[in-house]
Structure 1
């Protein structure tokens, strides 16, 4: 079976008690691993056992780490996802499949990609892991949350179905941890109403009744997504890409780089701090837009298990009308940056080397991706880890995050008190320091040691690092397709 690159998906998966990651690009793989189901299935055709048998056929033929598959008794499980988790447990123990293999709905995933919309408040929520406070890190302009006054830096302090039964976030966290907050926010369906008490960055407190509705997941914000910053007379292009999962992201990226090209920008800040990944073909387009003068050179390689080596593919830089040739790039990342985001960063290492840096925090660490295998009559898509991506130097072992492989890193705070795109926001200011040759402090990452930063008077490898407060995306145990790819989305 030929698996064209357009059918690959590299998506975020965060390890949080049974939640997983995945996504889709069109079309998913549908044949070659099981018989085509009948158009109108009987109950037995879509029974749990039938779905488990389908999943087994996928894993046994395509799973990237066949030697890391465990045997599991189908009769011992009441849910397909639990069965999948058990089968790939050895790979998860080695951090090679941290809930990246999962089951999802064909219809829901396809609708997300094609429509670019989902239901919710239209906000991203992260929590302080030490103090158990919940903050809005970003608001989508078309959501009711933004209309009600929620935006970056707002702290949600209480949640209820009405003003009469508000529960404080502190109480929810104390009783049930982050999942209790997720439960209090209610189901992700249009029409769900919650009363939220929140404090804006300036200190004003509000209590609003907010209804979840369908809203657009605009990949690049019209407010701050594309800017040309003035850094002491030098033009620096700033790009904030929220997600790779929306097909229209490729079009918006072309428009953004058109602005950079028109203004002669060659130094970039690419802000991927909350970008959990998405479509590989969108990541490819982003590479092409940074590939002026590199047409025909290797962008990345897709590598499958040995028995599927015939499906391996090398993707070369292709021509894009708005492409530029960046001389220096600062990539802003956090532990919510994964998959397609990491692919882009890793693929630039052979071409920029010391002229690029990771700014902020270490990334999640997901150099693998999934194909989608459909049991169409059951609305079941099994997303199984089937390939690894490597760069032109065949480097792709960053399961502990990109801080272990990117030549330069600079530790920086994710400063909720300032808007995204603001040159004085901590991560953006540090990115400007790197681009300007000024000093910075290294990102610390536990698995591979400290990675030194670059620039004038920069600390050397093994030097001390700054330990900043950690935040995590708030996410349900069983996330929706949109929540899989867009960390913290509600």
Structure 2
């Protein structure tokens, strides 16, 4: 696995993810590029209250940032740790200068070692198991994706379902519009409760056919299958041609086998034109991104895949990655990537990696991506269950292109503007973004993603949650993933997850 050991005494976990998530290549974390099993720098030895006091944890975090932060000149070490009541607030103050330059938009954060390891090993988390999008125009809440093995799907909530009201019982249901009027988006998020297993919520829901019902859903542990059992991959027939379609939800280790199965199916059918749907994918392990790139590029074994570069003082950890043989890989001749403002980190790495090799045959379809050309490492204070995800590396493709902090749309070879219509299931050839992707693959012209759409896609970022404009192209803040006030690790990786 890439980046398994970056220093003699430190097993760093690298991770690439959305706004706060990780993506790495090995080890204990995520956020930008990593696997979920390694442990990183470990300090604190006793597990006593003094060892895990806020002051001690703040001092530890400052030391790690001074040593590893990718932008040392943008680290404000003058801030007073005594002025902050939480470790994350202190970290936010330290990296505020980099955030002001859009180089660290909540990518550096502290999370739970146990929680992150569970997520990266199997995609395990707790909740009702849906991705939610809030329509700021209609003040309405919708399910934009549902996980098949989670409680909400079993209760009838799926893509396109509107959540009209939320309560702890039928007696105290409050409409979503009233919640928003009383306390904004935080009131809507708070009404859903935390991710504690056993928490029950009652929902009044409206289906796309206008049927209204009331259901009770109890939160439980479930696995976030990286590829849906319904639409994870398929072969779409259109105009006499066969197109491969693959929808990856998140870059966790269990995705490797699922992706290999998908591409083996494409290979068996002679498919070389592929739609890669990453519209809600906030990132994950770099190692999985490399697997994905290898599966698309059977003909490029031995060629440069991408470059990983650390700050000058850590340049011994720099790495050049090369394409390698992968069972089931195809030699893709034309690729359409579907993205939105929730598409970040490892997702963008796969897109950027493909760019030099298909300069006239690769496109970004949908909306502009988030813009995260950097990755995290995971540094552990194990006795306190603290994992500090630190922006420590930059990512570049074979042409050394990597400064896409404003998203990929402005620099991508071709872009096709398209909406994300939740009245169609993901994987449906008639869904507008998929239809536009098929159009590009078949050689049709399209309307480029506009700058207004690009800016709207990253209009709102709060507490490490990714904002996304996933409605009609160009409609700023029309529908965005619902933000949790204090996001769990999984919510950092999967915008809108509850």
Report the TM-score when normalising by structure 1.
0.92
Equivalent residue in structure 1 for 2:50, among 23, 38, 44:
44
Alignment correspondent of 2:469:
none
Q: CA deviation at 1:306?
A: 1.2
Alignment correspondent of 2:17:
11
Pair 1:432-2:438 in alignment? yes
Pair 1:72-2:82 in alignment? no
User: 1:444-463 alignment to 2 at 5 Å?
Assistant: 444-446=450-452
Rate the CA distance shift 1:28–1:161 in 2: closer, same or farther, 3 A.
same
Q: SS in structure 2 opposite 1:308?
A: helix
User: 1:66-105 alignment to 2 at 5 Å?
Assistant: 66-70=72-76, 71-105=78-112
Q: SS in structure 2 opposite 1:437?
A: coil
Question: 1:224-276, CA deviations, whole angstroms, 9 ceiling, x for partnerless residues?
Answer: 111100011100000010110x2110110011100000000000000000000
Q: CA deviation at 1:29?
A: 5.4
Contact 1:6 1:26 in 2 (8 A): no
Distance 1:115 1:407 in 2: 35
Distance 2:127 2:492 in 1: 14
Pair 1:378-2:384 in alignment? yes
Report the TM-score when normalising by structure 2.
0.90
Alignment correspondent of 2:465:
none
Distance 1:263 1:6 in 2: 40
Rate the CA distance shift 1:190–1:96 in 2: closer, same or farther, 3 A.
same
Equivalent residue in structure 2 for 1:272, among 248, 273, 278:
278
Rate the CA distance shift 1:27–1:194 in 2: closer, same or farther, 3 A.
closer
Pair 1:168-2:178 in alignment? no
Pair 1:307-2:313 in alignment? yes
Contact 1:22 1:102 in 2 (8 A): no
Alignment correspondent of 1:136:
143
Alignment correspondent of 2:116:
109
Alignment correspondent of 2:154:
147
Equivalent residue in structure 1 for 2:486, among 469, 478, 486:
478
Question: 1:358-378, CA deviations, whole angstroms, 9 ceiling, x for partnerless residues?
Answer: 000101101111000001111
Gaps of 5+ in 1: 16-20, 451-464
Distance 1:281 1:254 in 2: 14
User: 1:77-476 alignment to 2 at 5 Å?
Assistant: 77-244=84-251, 246-446=252-452, 467-468=474-475, 470-476=478-484
Distance 2:11 2:360 in 1: 29
Q: CA deviation at 1:25?
A: 2.1
Q: CA deviation at 1:6?
A: 8.5
Pair 1:22-2:26 in alignment? no
Q: CA deviation at 1:445?
A: 2.6
Q: CA deviation at 1:132?
A: 2.1
Contact 2:248 2:278 in 1 (8 A): yes
Q: CA deviation at 1:389?
A: 0.4
Alignment correspondent of 1:455:
none
Q: SS in structure 1 opposite 2:308?
A: strand
Question: 1:275-330, CA deviations, whole angstroms, 9 ceiling, x for partnerless residues?
Answer: 00001100010011112111111111111111111111011001101111111110
